[in-house]
Amino acid sequence: MSLDLIGAMSIIRIDEIEYETDLLTEEAKAQLLSVQHTDQKIAELQRDLAIAQTARASYANALRELLGHGVEGSAHPAAGLQVRH
């Protein structure tokens, strides 16, 4: 289902069919609000995921640096670290 808002919430398009929101039943309006709320929550979660993925990459890079696997890919451990094989 694709849902597009047209104008100031007076017309919505669902699956290529346009509906006037003023003519929707109360139940349909409630469902529309639920869809909009869910879309907002999905967008928020996607932003949070992007933040978490960026943080994870930063932590992984910092760990690589500490372990002596910097950008150059050096396999030598940093001073004070022991490597077990």
Give residue 8's pLDDT. 58
pLDDT score of 10: 81
CA gap 67, 81 in Å, rounded: 7
Residues 12-61: pLDDT tens digits? 999 999 999 999 999 999 999 999 999 999 999 999 999 999 999 999 99
- For 52, the token pair is 């978490």
| DSSP strand pairing (17-20 vs 11-14) | antiparallel
pTM strictly above 0.85: no
Which residue in the block uniquely carries the two structure tokens 């919505």? 12
Q: For residue 7, name the pLDDT band (cuts at 50, 70, 90).
A: low
